[in-house]
Every structure is written in C-alpha cells, then in structure tokens.
Amino acid sequence: MAKKKEEVIRGAEVSNEGNRAINKFRVSDFVMMALIVLLCLTCILPFLHLAAKSISGNTYVVAKQVAFWPKGINFDAYVSIFKDGGLTYAMVYSIVVTTIFTALGMLVCTCAAYPLSKKRLKGRTFFTFALMIPMYFGAGLIPSYLLMDKLNLLDNMWVLILPLIYSPYNMLIMKTSLQTSIPDSLEESAFLDGASNLQILTKIVLPLSKPVIATLSLFYAVGRWNSYADNIYYIQTDKLKMAQYKLAQMVSSANAAQTVSLSEGAAVTSTPEVLQSAAVMVVTIPIICIYPFLQKYFVKGVMIGAVKG
Amino acid sequence: MAKKKAGKPNVQSGVTWRNAFKRDWQLYMLLLFPLAMVIIFNYAAYPGLRLVFMDYKPAKGFEGSKWVGMETFAKIFRDADFFRALKNSIVFNLLDLLVGFPMPIILALILNELRYPKFKKVTQTILYLPHFLSWVIVGAVAYSMFRPTTGLVNIALMNAGMIQEGIPFLTEKWHWAVTYLLVGVWQGMGWGTIIYLAAITGISGELYEAAMIDGANRWKRMWHITLPGIKGTVVTLLIMNLGRVMGSNLERLREFGNSQVRDFQYQLAIYIYDKGLGGGKFSMSTAVNLFQSAVGVVLVLLADRVAKKLGEDGLL
C-alpha cells in the first residue's frame, strides 16, 4: 500500500518535470512568483522591523526613523530584560515545562497510536472511539477548573503539563502515519522471528518513524510554548507562569499606559516600545532556532499523516 | 521478508478476548497510559457539567448549591451580554471561514504551479512561520505595524503623503474587524496549504499529461484536474471548520483587544471567561460553554450528513 503510493508520488513528480520542459516561462509565472514573494515579505518584514527597533537608540525610535535598519545600535533593552530576571526566569521555566511536556506527550501519543494502528487488535474500534471523544466534545472551562481543583493541581507546574499531554489530534496523525508508512510484512516477519510487540515497536517501528516523531514533537513543543490561556485559568503564583504570559502582560501594559513593568533593579533606560520589541524577540528566538532543524521533517511528517486523516 | 503473508495472524473476528490478550497484552498495557489520561483529565470533568442545572456557588460546592433545573438557561436567554457575544462570535467566525478558508486552497494551487523547486521550498518555509508564533507575538507585531501614530504602516503611508492622519487600524471597531480578520488569515494561510499540497501530490500525473495533449492550458488543468482532485480534502476540512463557528480563540481576542473595540471583541470565549472565572457566575458560564460545544458538534454532524448526501466521503 505504502509502496504503491510512493510510486504514484514519484510518477507525478516526473511528469511535472516533463511539463516544465515543455512550457515556457510566461507572464502568469511571473505574476504568481511576485505574489508569493509579496506574501513572504509580509511574513518577514514585521519581524525585521521589530528586530531593528529592539537594538536601536531611543531617540531614533521616538522620531519614527527606524524601519528595517537599526539606527544608533545598542543592546540596552536586552540588558535590562536580562537584569530584571523576571522574563529570563520565565524563559528557563518555560523551557523546562515545554521539554517535559513534549517528552511525556510523545510517550503517551506513541502508547495510544501504536496499538490502535494494529488492525488485529481486539476492541480497537471501542478504544479509538473512547480516545477520540474529547476532541469533539470538551467539558468546558469551569468543569475542568473544578476538576483541577479536586485533583489538587491548581497553582502547580503540572497543571500546565498533564491535562494536555494526550492530544487526540496528534494521536490521529501518528496512527495514520504508522499505518501507511510501515509495511505490515516487515512487522510480521519480525513477529515470526519471535520478537514481542514491544520489541517490534522500539527496534523497528520507532526508528522508521522519525519524520512523524519530529513533526509531532514540534507540534507539542510549539503548542505548549505558545499558549498561555491555561496560565490565566489555573496559575496564580508569579513564579509558575510561563514566558508567553509574562510577555502578554508586558505587551498589554505597554499598549495601555506606555510603560513596561520591570523591577527596580533592571534600571530601564529604553522606551517601552524598544523594550517591548526586545521582549518579543527574546521569546520568539527559541522557536526560530528549532524551526529550521525540524522543518525538513515536518512537511513530510504532516503529509504522511494528512493524506487520509 | 520472504515469508510475507504466510503467518498472518488471525484478524479481529473470531479471536476470544483471552487469546487476544495473550497475544497482544503488551499493546493493551501501552493503551492503559492514554486511557488513564483521558479518563482522569477529560471524562472525569463531564460530571461537573451538572452545575448547569444548579445555582452553583463556588464557596458552597456541589453539595451546598441548589438545584434549579432549567433556570440557568432561562437566565442566559434573558442576558443581553450573551446575545451580543453570540452575534459577534457567529459573525466573526463566519467571516473568518469565508475569507480564511479559500485562501490556503488558492495559495496551494499557486505553490503547486511554481517552477523552481528551490524557490518553492524557501517560500513555503517562510509562509509556514506565522503559524508557529503565538498570538501574543502576532498581536505585538500587529500593534507595532498598525498603531495610529507610531505604527510602521501608518508612518510609511504618511511619509508617502497618501494620508494626513494615521488610520486607526486597531482602535476603531470597523477597521479593527478588518485587521483582525486579515491578520488571522495571514497567520493561518501558509500552514493551511500543507494538507492541500499533500492531496495534490496524490493526483495521478497521467491526468495532467492527457490534458496537455488535449490542449488544456494551465488554468483549465487547475480547474478541471487539480481542484476536483482535492475536492474530498476541501470538504473534510470545511466540515471540521464548521465545528468552530461558535468558538473563538481567547488568546487571539485578548491580544487584539482594547477598550475602543470592545463592541466587536466581546465574543463567547470572552463571555465564558469573564462570567465564569472572572465573575464567579459558574453556572451561566458553563451553560454557555455547553451550548457552544453542543452547537459545534451538531454542526459537524449536520455538515457530515450533507456531504455524504452529496456523494462525498464525509468525516466520520
């Protein structure tokens, strides 16, 4: 099954090459490329602007002279952010939470997807159904809040991790991917050679599933890193709040009162606008750093999972 | 590899539970972990829904609060705030669907037609990026671009002499509505193409060849081969998106919100949070939340039914 699909894909590519050779470069090509370039610019330029502002001198920013090239380069805003410690602490804390979250998430995802990808598993339909319902129907904010209260998880780091590590959506992608990308025959021969289910999983299936593992790890990590609504719901202690929440606070205070709240020790000399740009850069940089490394996997991983799912 | 189908284990039917467990006990052990997670963190929350039939007071808990039957729902349907939130949610989410849904399809069609693989790859990578940024960052970026006096777009327009005064992209409600929608489309458009591009690779190349021999030009091939080829995927995604017509993203609304645009920003997600954890009216908040998810489920089921009637695969 998987092999056949691969052949089809390869076939399509070959014939596209053929098309290219026949067609000449036309106006429509130019228009399309121009449009795509334009859209790409809308994705890059805002960040260049923020990056430029974050290392520019206050006077230039206030005078609205900074567009995409920094003027009066200095790193005061970054220095005060790191001196303040609040955001730096939240960053380290967020990295810890995100790492634990991603590791546990992948574990629980594999534990669900691998058995459910086996057609021979008795009770498969029932288990799949039971594990998919939460995707379509959630209990809602207040019942979840009361549940976390009862579980003694309120104002606890684990409330940011445990409730969300099982994701039906990710499980579905992984299950589809295991079904389509791993030939049954491979597992069957291992089975006949006396390998147990667990051995097949760890020695054969997982090593062959690197793209989908990389993809889902990225989904888990980015999902956790970026969302902060549950910080508002469940967490009160300042030390237990994640970086995005801190950033959200800084941004909203900068928008409302034109000041950014940092502690006394930070000795802020930058204007709120510069400081806010620097804070945005600090929180964005981790994602920009891991993105290119996982990027080559995730397109492949998503495609495998997406074709049927 | 040689003994391919020889020892194919018996399929599902006819195996007793005892034998199935004997053979696959390790698989069932693995399943315990995810099952425990959904039971503890999802199913265990469902009984909490009974508070929609109570006048729930956080201080008194479930035992101390009074049962009031349908009173909570009656209260919601008398609440002007609820109708305002409901109207905003439906209008904005439908607009989101209207503007945001076709965009990835168009973009995927264009990306598919691009000639230079290198160019295609780099641009794709860039277009996916906004999807990986949080709403806080997207919101902060939007403000730095669109603020009336200090936003880059307004500065550029003023320097070019095209406008005298900054356009209130984010501080006047009608402008805000457009900005909110377009930034939403911008954030999701690149990532949305992946699934369509995957579907496009599944279309047989022979179809294109045959069409070319018959003299079909690029647009005709797009219209008669590519689009019909991804119709199933389009329908599936449309059904899934219909389920979200009631729900909005609290983070997105918060990050774009400000006091001047409260009229439009006040949607169900805000209502649920403000009334519930913010205002202590747990029963009302949960009832609205329940209403929201129930409508979502019903819409998905309906859309699925309609799609199947029209001869599509559907979702379920």
- Which carries the bigger pLDDT value, residue A296 or residue B17? B17
Mean pLDDT of A179-191: 82
At B309, list the tokens: 């009637």
A169 φ, ψ to 5°? Answer: -65, -50
A105 contacts B34 by C-beta, under 8 angstroms: no
Which residue on chain B is closest to A225 by alpha carbon?
B134
Pairing of strands B66-67, B54-55: antiparallel
Q: CB under 8 Å to A94, separation ≥6 — which residues?
A: A225, A242, A243, A244
Tell me the sheet residues that pair with B55: B66
pLDDT of chain B, 316 residues: tens digit per residue: 333 344 444 454 567 888 888 888 899 999 999 999 999 999 999 999 998 898 888 888 888 888 888 888 999 999 999 999 999 999 999 999 999 999 999 999 999 888 888 888 888 888 988 888 899 999 988 888 888 877 888 888 888 888 888 788 888 889 899 999 999 999 989 888 888 888 888 788 888 889 888 888 888 888 888 998 888 888 888 888 887 788 788 888 988 888 788 888 899 999 999 888 888 889 999 999 999 999 988 988 888 888 888 877 766 6
- In 3-state terms, what secondary structure has residue A91? helix
For residues A44-55, give the mean pLDDT.
89
**Which residues does chain B have within 8 Å of residue A108's beta carbon, measured at their own beta carbons?**
33-34, 37
* Mean pLDDT on A23-41: 85
Return the residue in B37, B288, B304 with the most chain A beta carbons within 10 A, the one to mutate for interface testing. Answer: B37
Closest CA to B3 of A182, A3, A185, A194: A185
8 Å CB contact of A9 and B202 = yes
Q: Is B67 helix (H, G, I), strand (E, B) or coil?
A: strand
pLDDT, mean of residues A214-232: 89
Output the pLDDT for position A101. 97
Main-chain dihedrals φ then ψ at residue B55, nearest 5 degrees: -100, 80
From the number of C-beta atoms within 10 Å of its C-beta (0-12, 13-18, 19+), residue A22 rates as exposed
- Rounded to whole angstroms, the Cα distance separating A132 from A123 reads 14
Q: CB-CB: which of A252, A256, A303 is closest to B194?
A: A303
Q: Choose the mutation target among B29, B120, B133, B145 for the interface with A, i.e. most A CBs under 10 Å.
A: B133
Indicate the residue of A13, A50, A141 with minimum beta-carbon distance to B273: A141
Tokens coding A268: 């802020």
Phi and psi at residue A255, to the nearest 5°: -70, -35
Task: Report the C-alpha gap between B262 and B266 in whole angstroms.
Answer: 6
Separation in Å, CA B151 to CA A264, A292, B90: 29, 30, 30
Distances (CA, A) of B237 to A136, A309, B241: 14, 10, 6
- Which member of B4, B203, B277 has the closest CB to residue A12? B203
Local structure of A205: helix, strand or coil: helix
- Summarize pLDDT for A65-124 with one digit per residue, the tens: 788 888 888 888 888 888 878 888 999 999 999 999 999 999 999 999 999 998 888 889
- H/E element holding A85? none
| Cβ(B81)–Cβ(B267) below 8 Å | no
CA A96 – CA A49 distance, rounded (Å):
30
CB contact under 8 A, B7 and A53: no
Confidence at A5, pLDDT banded by 50, 70, 90 = very low
**Cα atoms in the Cβ-side hemisphere of radius 13 Å centred on A17:** 5
Q: How confident is the model at residue A161 (pLDDT cuts 50, 70, 90)?
A: very high
CA angle A101, A107, A112 (to 5 degrees): 120
Coil, strand, or helix at residue B55? strand
Nearest CA to B111 out of B127, B87, B129, B134 is that of B127
What is the ipTM score, two decimals? 0.84
CA distances from residue A69 to A48, A78, A81, A143, B126 in whole angstroms, order as listed: 8, 18, 22, 50, 20
Give the gyration radius of chain A's Cα atoms. 25
Q: Which residue has the tokens 């005061």?
A: A76
Among A294, A143, A163, A298, residue whose Cα is nearest residue A224: A163
The overall longest dimension of chain B from CA atoms, in Å, is 81
| pLDDT of A118 | 87
> Mind telling me how many Å the CA of B71 is from chain A's nearest CA?
18
Contact criterion met (CB < 8 Å) for B110 and A142: no
SS3 B316: coil
The answer to whether B113 touches B218, Cβ cutoff 8 Å, is yes
What phi and psi values does residue B67 have, to the nearest 5 degrees?
-80, 135
CB half-sphere exposure, A61, CA atoms < 13 A: 25
CA distance A211 to A296: 9
Question: Chain A contacts of B9, Cβ < 8 Å?
Answer: 120, 188, 191
Q: Are residues A35 and B254, on separate chains, in Cβ contact within 8 Å? A: no
Between positions 40 and 59 of B, the ones with CB within 8 A of A are: 40-49, 51
Q: Among A41-55, A279-293, B78-92, which is the least confidently predicted range?
A: A279-293
Q: What angle do CA A53, A59, A65 make, to 5 degrees?
A: 55
pLDDT tier at A267, thresholds 50, 70, 90: low
SS3 A108: helix
